[in-house]
Structures are given as structure tokens and as C-alpha cells.
Structure 1
């Protein structure tokens, strides 16, 4: 995740915490820190949180990255046989004939 996405995600989390405080306790943390809702710094923070939320929509629609590449290699290397008693069995007679011919 690049630096811009991390900063945007941090601002969205700050905004979510602020909205949680407003919803549960009627306390606006950003407004109390920066001098009220009409203060220039508070409005800048509100604007940055809003823009960060819009930017984080790109994270939502990014394709998921596979973190464990060994998992794919392991699944390709193993050859599982889920046969039953009634299923077809592997014919080893042709392999034995080839070994005898060598």
C-alpha cells in the first residue's frame, strides 16, 4: 500500500472516530481541538477527511493481492487422487513394462 493510501486511510479512521464521538456522546473532537466547527483549521480537517474518504473508494475496488505465493506453488505440485473403490485406478502395468524394457 503506498504512502498516499495510508495517509488517506488514517484520515478516514480519524473521521470515523470523530463521527462515533458525535453519535454517542455529542462531542466533536475536531471542533474542540481546532476552535469550533467554523474555524479554518477544523474546516480544513473536515475537507481532508472527506477527500480521503473519496480516495479510499479506490482501495475498495482494487483487486486483492495474493500474499502467499508458496501456496499456489504447493497446490500445483501435489496431485491428489480422490478416487474411491468404484473409481478408476491408475494403470501401472504400462509403467512396469517401460521399466523392464530399459
Structure 2
């Protein structure tokens, strides 16, 4: 489960950085690297979205102390 947590967290950070670039500079890094709404870029956006939803579960685990040790 810890590996999945790290992967989800990394994808969520990538998404946050991309949104920051869009907000501040109007620059979409994913579209720049993989094309504007190509199949690969849509997969990346989808994975980032799923990772963000998965990270919601971290709130409950942190509150309950399940991530200790």
C-alpha cells in the first residue's frame, strides 16, 4: 500500500505543478510534452485525477494514525 501511496502522491504533485504553470504562465506542460489532448495526454490527465481522488483516503489514514511505522 505504501508504494501506491507514493505513486499517487507523485502524480498528484505533477498535477499540482501543471496547474500552477497553467495558472501563472498559461503553460500546459503535459500538452507541451505529449500533445494537446492526444491519447497519451488524456491518459496522464486521467491518472492524475485518479491519484488525486485516491489521496483523499490519506486524510482518514493520517487522522486515524494508520500511516505510523
Q: Same fold (TM over 0.5)?
A: yes
TM range (shorter): 0.7 to 0.9
Structure whose CA Rg is larger: 1
Output the aligned Cα RMSD. 1.4
**Which 4+ residue blocks in structure 1 deviate beyond 2 angstroms?**
64-67
**Counterpart check, 1:15 vs 2:15:** yes
Cα distance in structure 2, aligned partners of 1:60 and 1:43: 27
Structure 2 CA distance for aligned equivalents of residues 66 and 35 of structure 1? 41
Bigger RCO of structures 1 and 2 (CA < 8 A, at least 6 apart): 2
Q: TM-score, with normalisation over the residues of structure 1?
A: 0.60
Aligned length: 66
Q: Which runs of 5+ in 2 are unaligned?
A: none
Considering fraction of residues, name the structure with more helix: 2
Which TM-score applies when normalising by structure 2?
A: 0.88
